[in-house]
Structure 1
């Protein structure tokens, strides 16, 4: 960070749901964090007098018991707020009675107490005397006025005050809205944005100080418009969810399931706040909740947290509230075939045109929702955001939309859609009778996003992106419809992969395959890329423009020459066509449904593919220039094997890494077992190899996947020299910097050496444990067989403990056991089950 500004220590005021999780994410970033809460009742104050009644389970005299309890809750939340349980140690409990003086050492203080103006103001007055002169103080609020809150601060501190709005859960939601007050120092806001973007990995949007800011303002209106039109067109809640989820590029939870996840009481509070503060909004009537909604809240049916809301789980069945009867019934809503065919259309011009033209109630409902959201966004843009880019990114990053509303409008044909909206406004069909703003009706307008920038209503210009230095680290930032990115200069390109560079001496390899699966074409490309890098470049980065890194090997493509068809056919469709005429069905390293069919007589070919995979991973490991795996998202099975053989891994925090082949009845055969056995030997440093091996064996045999890059390090997939990146858009920059650093220090590949294996005595010990698991009913007979084979490979086979072998010894064992498992009926049954149900079979 520039200008000598660093956030070494932070404090979060308020240990509620949001405060504790914000503290957790600061800890994920390695920031020492104080988490404040009221002192526990019953604790002893400095004067020795008790303050009241102790919290249940709190230690007598522990004034931090409230925070300790909040931290205990953090450990059990799902999804986990902490990237690793070990990160909890970075958070220090504190309370307002004893520890305010510790605020003097904090560079950033985030207030995250309840959304009550008077409570926040009282707290500001209490803590202000303890703040450092250069400390940033930010209020985490979802909609309270930042200028009003600032009045509670001493005048001399107001320039260091701003609003900050994390979305829940803070670890996973990319959006943070940053809101300045009239007195906020511009340079301070830039410093905070830089920290949020690079250190916490966030997508920052600058919002105006208006009620609910940008994302909630548009998102809540969208949900209310959807609820309103559902009732108008007589659609059930589950039917609406079938229509408004992934078909529209929205989260699977769609509309009413999202309400249950958020909490009906939370949504009701936000709507009530908007009703109170947006009295001049032309859509003000929308900020009132229907009777059925208020009845659920009154009954305490608040959604997921109360186990009843719009939906109710009865046994294994999902029931949904019937709006008319007030009773629950089995959920069975779905899109009508006619409408489903429209929604499958990927081209927004044809999709929206078909919805507008259709007489089907479901299609009319969807057009009405789009129309009113577009109308609302256009009218409100100048009031709530600096430009259209900020509004679209707010919806993408805060509500999980694939495309923002302006992007969809632009993709569907701006002029045509604007005309339809205007017609509906004139006919009284829209939710408000105000016209579209003049800029939206300009005759030459084709959209709001261009290569030069996005439309800014304040001066009717195309406003370019931020020029803050931190964004130079994002070589390929999130892209809007209407923008294009040039991914460097091509070195070579095949159907399976592309090798390219950005005008420097670092080569970059990206896969073209679906889910970045690894078939023979990708393996050939990797080896060719290493050749090119050794001949002409200082290093090679394996990087994908979009996650995942790779879900594993795609041996179907290798064996049958099947290429991915359009989505309506797809890989699984091909498999169904050929399944009846093959003898062997195996999965090669993906563990997530990327399957292969090996025709009768082609078993030698399968073995050659496995050998090719092994040669490729060894080529990566012993390349004469450094190869960096830039991992984002899933790196499973063969994808994990590729990554762990590279000189370094640079991984985003949200990287999920594991060797999961056992799920389809196989073992890792691309060097995964070998490499983890070798790492155990290296960790032992001449001592007891088995002590280190048993952990690595267990995680492969149990198909363990890391729940973050931090946990991947704990599992041994990331080494001490590997790096974790908080912002996925900085991943390529950091990977290239790592190449430069390695090249600058005269990189040499590791030397191939003999290493000790645990041998038959360790194998016997592991097999005893496997038998105990079988007899205890924890694993099946086939699990026992696979685990025993994994143990044999990782222990080095039937040899004495301490026998020194080379890597090829273990690779040969991997390949032999892979082929033997591939021929078994139970492995084939697992793969068939994965094909049909997309989940593992434990037979």
Structure 2
């Protein structure tokens, strides 16, 4: 068994964009972190770092999981702070991409790096072996490259690049730390320029630029083709370049040109004239307000090379090409793209052909297996399928023949031959036994490192299937399953966006009954994000529009009964949350014995946005918690202030940590950093509770409420907001009703009520609001546009 890397304290060298954000994410993960930079010439010597830390709070999306974490980062400088390195177990260098600067810094810090610490460079493409050459002998086996993708909190990919001298135990310890503690997907890259992600990703962009010109297409047209239609992010190609920064793009292209002189595609490693012209004008993309695209008022304009000016960005993917791309069978899709005479179809075929060609040709030099390439592109660039998966899905042999034909015909970007292994009779590079490694001429299985045993369902590659467990019970709404011999059952929803309808409610109650009889605990977990987008609004609106108020009220009562069933289950129910947990989804986890939330959990009681209030027991639960927190002689109203605003404004947390601050998660709930470990952690929590002889809480029969005085105080706050036009009259009505339920209704301040009283209040106000035309308008608008209506 390899030794664990114990990280009590870490240091990040370089407080630039990446360094500061890496420090932020280490801090998110509870690692005591020191951030270094040059000493400031004037004022506080740590001024440069302090400015970088202050800037973290202004970035969107936020690198910090909670704004309060900024003050935990320790600022330091290289002149007076190097002694601090002696207490560090992990040192990550993230200064500018200059070999000489990095080497100079290594010489300076080497005497202070402890003999057990790991030193890693977050370079995006410089040689790891060349960097290692300047290190003293005793540090070399503890040095490697670790390339985080930007932004480091959100991007799953981390490339690990060993130097020739790096120790195996060091790499395994770092891989384990990156996976569990920082939530990363680790890919091993060979020490070649730009490693895997940027080597293939930037080649794909260069190929797109080349084929855009060849096909005479507009930049907006290409973005319409190279986004979601082919399983890539909405920002597609040219918008992504604007977001990254055109100067950064040009720098990466130049790095490829300088460092890869023998690459058969080298002649394409050059910035096009139009890119250089934009940079010369200072139009660097999003950060300067103009680049390939430009926003004028509400209009999006795009650069038109023929006109040498901007024009409206209105060119779209041609309907006949969209029809081809919508085909379910990838083999048929690629055959039609290749056969089509439409310029957009010809463009797409050429783009895929050259990408496949490049990946196959370079695979042996840049990665150990095809798996590493596909994961690097999926996790680093957000593609649904990696290049090799796409090729394999489309029919490996046929596509390989087509590529070879195009190479001979001089249509491909390079005349370099496809490697022999492409034609050895194979049907692809991924299979049940593993992924192909040209170096070893064999399919290698996934890593057997113990950390991966925590991933019951890892991110699957094409053709990979993981045992789905044994179904214990199933209806149209849910599936209850367990692994053979396991005493913790798992329940998952089967609805779109994991919304909650009658089948889900009835199924959950049935599942809890089965778990009580046959299992030690139950985990509420979804195979894919989101956890739950809340109640099935379309079904609810249908009941209302049909005038079936009794049916609607029965649905609400059933929702509350399900939440209560979760809370008072005789076995612990643990909610495993990731992605959105809105409305009823949030309420279910509030009633669980414990929640395990992935860091990227966006939790909220958002009913006010559709003209309703939470009525799945959420407001009741907040009132119970306020009463418990206030204690015998405390101020219940003071405990309600924060949560009232959260609910009335429909706030959604930007992280699991912020959900705790908003009162939507409890202090004792667990935050997990790796989404693929969530189920493992939740089952362990359920088992731990069961092992301790779990009993549900006793029924809450003595809930102290804020009563009429609390309601009146909230109404005064709302009057100010109404007069300041921060809220509409209807917002005011909804918020008043929320306050009424939270405060236990028009009873005396300090009155004692029970849960049933509060649930009845929830139901009453929910059903009354639901019958209002303005609420029905809000629901219909949300269903149609996905956005809230302020009426």
TM-score (norm 2): 0.98
> 2:159 corresponds to which residue?
177
Q: Secondary structure of the equivalent of 2:141?
A: helix
The reply on whether 1:811 has 2:789 as its aligned counterpart is no
1:682 paired residue number: 628
Q: CA separation in 2, counterparts of 1:154 and 1:296?
A: 44
CA distance in 1, matches of 2:213, 2:5: 53
The yes-or-no answer on 1:766 pairing with 2:714 is yes
Q: Distance in 1 between matches of 2:396 and 2:212?
A: 26
Which residue of structure 2 lines up, in the alignment, with residue 71 of structure 1?
A: 53
For residues 157 and 695 of structure 2, what CA distance do their matches in structure 1 show?
Answer: 41
In structure 2, runs of 5+ residues without a counterpart are: none
Question: Given the alignment, which residue of 463, 466, 484 partners 1:482?
Answer: 463
Q: How many residues align?
A: 788
Contact conserved, 2:54 with 2:70, CA < 8 A, in 1? no
User: Which of 317, 337, 340 lines up with 1:358 in the alignment?
Assistant: 340
Equivalent residue number for residue 161 of structure 1:
143
| In the alignment, structure 1 residue 456 sits paired with structure 2 residue 445 | no
**Counterpart selection for 1:722 from 628, 646, 669:** 669
Out of 606, 613, 616, the position equivalent to 1:667 is: 613
Q: Helix, strand or coil: the match of 2:643?
A: helix
CA–CA distance in 2 between the matches of 1:454 and 1:117?
34
Question: Paired residue for 2:491?
Answer: 509
* Cα distance between partner residues in 1 of 2:719 and 2:92: 53
- Range that drifts further, 537-546 or 416-425: 416-425
Match of 2:731 in 1: 783
RMSD: 1.1
Q: How do residues 35-114 of structure 1 correspond to structure 2 at under 5 angstroms?
A: 35-42=35-42, 60=43, 62-114=44-96
694, 707, 710: which one pairs with 2:641?
Answer: 694
**Residue 364 of structure 2: aligned partner:** 382
Tell me, yes or no, if the aligned pair for 2:489 and 2:515 is still in contact at 8 Å: yes
Q: State the shift of 1:351 in Å.
A: 2.1
Measured against aligned partners, the alpha-carbon deviations of 1:373-427 in whole angstroms (never above 9, x if no partner) come to: 0110011000100000000000000011111011111111111111111111111
Say whether the 8 Å CA contact 2:4–2:173 is kept in structure 1.
Answer: no
1:18 match: 18
Deviation of the 1:532 alpha carbon: 0.6
Residues 193 and 199 in structure 2, CA contact (< 8 A), matched pair in contact too: yes
Report the equivalent of 1:227.
209
2:297 aligned to 307, 312, 315, which one? Answer: 315
Q: What is the aligned counterpart of 1:552 among 527, 531, 534?
A: 534
| Structure-2 separation of matches of 1:245 and 1:274 | 25
- Unpaired segments of 5 or more residues in structure 1? 43-59, 560-584, 586-595
For each residue in 1:644-692, what CA deviation from the matched residue of structure 2 results, as whole angstroms up to 9, or x when unmatched? 1110000100000000011111111111111112111111112000001
1:836 to 770, 784, 787: 784
Output the CA distance in 2 between the equivalents of 1:15 and 1:556.
49
Match of 2:567 in 1: 621
- Separation in 2, partners of 1:159, 1:214: 23
Aligned to 2:237: 255
The residue that corresponds to 1:708 in the other structure is 655
User: 1:555 Cα shift?
Assistant: 4.7
CA distance in 2, matches of 1:394, 1:148: 23
Structure 1 residue 187 and structure 2 residue 135: aligned?
no
CA distance in 2, matches of 1:88, 1:39: 20
User: For residue 731 of structure 1, what is the aligned residue in structure 2?
Assistant: 678
Instruction: Measure, in 1, the Cα distance between the counterparts of 2:419 and 2:331.
Output: 22
2 CA distance for matches of 1:414 and 1:808? Answer: 62
- Partners in 1 of 2:597 and 2:156 — Cα distance? 17
Distance 2:674 2:355 in 1: 30
Q: Deviations over 1:17-63 (max 9, x none)?
A: 00000000000100000000111112xxxxxxxxxxxxxxxxx4x11
Secondary structure of the 1:76 match is: coil
| Mapped contact 1:12–1:22 kept (Cα < 8 A) | yes
* Residue 340 of structure 1, CA deviation: 1.3
Asked if 2 retains the 8 angstrom alpha-carbon contact of 1:652 and 1:726, the reply is yes
Residue 381 of structure 2 corresponds to residue 424 of structure 1: no
Normalised by the length of structure 1, the TM-score is 0.92
Distance 2:708 2:183 in 1: 47
Q: d(CA) in 2 for partners of 1:464 and 1:836?
A: 46
Q: CA deviation at 1:494?
A: 2.0
SS in 1 for 2:332: helix
Q: Does the aligned pair in 2 maintain the 1:677–1:696 contact within 8 Å? A: no
8 A contact 2:340–2:346 mirrored in 1: yes
Is 1:793 the counterpart of 2:774 in the alignment?
Answer: no
Do 2:537 and 2:783's aligned partners in 1 also have CA atoms closer than 8 Å?
Answer: no
Moved more, 802-811 or 216-225: 802-811
1:435 aligned counterpart, secondary structure: coil
**1:601 Cα offset (Å):** 3.3
Equivalent residue for 1:575?
none
Contact 1:31–1:90, Cα closer than 8 Å, also in 2: no
1:494 aligns with 2:441: no
Distance 1:229 1:427 in 2: 17
Deviations 1:614-655 (A, max 9, x none): 000000000000000000100001110111111000010000
Render the CA deviation track for 1:426-475: whole Å, top value 9, x for unaligned: 111111112211111122x1111111100010121010111111111111
- Give per-residue Cα distances to partners, 1:534-566, cap 9 Å, x unaligned: 000000001011110000011534x6xxxxxxx
1:407 aligns with 2:389: yes
* Alpha-carbon shift at residue 832 of structure 1 (Å): 2.4
Query: How big is each residue's C-alpha offset from its partner over 1:77-101, in whole Å with a ceiling of 9 and x where there is no partner?
Result: 0000000011112210001111101
Distance apart, 1:155 and its partner CA: 1.8
Q: Segments of 4+ in structure 1 off by > 4 A?
A: none
The within-5 A match list for 1:818-829 is 818-829=766-777
CA contact (8 A) 1:759 1:803 kept: yes
Decide whether the 8 Å contact of 1:681 with 1:693 is kept in 2. no
Q: What secondary structure is seen at the aligned counterpart in 2 of 1:33?
A: strand
**1:30–1:90 contact (8 Å) kept in structure 2:** no
- In the alignment, the residues of structure 2 paired with residue 446 and residue 520 of structure 1 have an alpha-carbon distance, to the nearest angstrom, of 45
The 8 Å contact of residues 388 and 429 in structure 2, kept in 1 or not, is answered as yes
Please state how far the C-alpha of 1:218 moved relative to its aligned partner: 0.3
Partner of 1:325, secondary structure, is coil
Report the Cα distance in structure 2 between the residues aligned to 1:268 and 1:343, rounded to whole angstroms.
31
Aligned to 1:199: 181
What is the distance in 2 between the residues matched to 1:260 and 1:275?
Answer: 21
**Structure 2 CA distance, aligned partners of 1:397 and 1:436?**
26
1:4 deviation in Å?
5.5
- The answer for the alignment partner of 1:607 in structure 2 is 553
Aligned match of 1:598:
544
Cα separation, 2, equivalents of 1:603 and 1:618: 23
Q: Who is 1:741 aligned against?
A: 688
Per the TM alignment, residue 347 of structure 1 is displaced from its structure 2 partner at its CA by: 3.0
- Does the Cα contact within 8 Å between 1:680 and 1:696 map onto a contact in 2? no
How far does the alpha carbon of each residue in 1:305-325 deviate from its partner, in whole angstroms, 9 at most, with x for none? Answer: 111110111011111111222
Structure 1 stretch 306-315 or stretch 337-346: which is displaced more?
337-346
8 A contact 1:517–1:550 mirrored in 2: yes
Residue equivalent to 2:704: 756
Distance 2:724 2:82 in 1: 54
Change in 2 beyond 3 A, CA 1:791/1:236: same
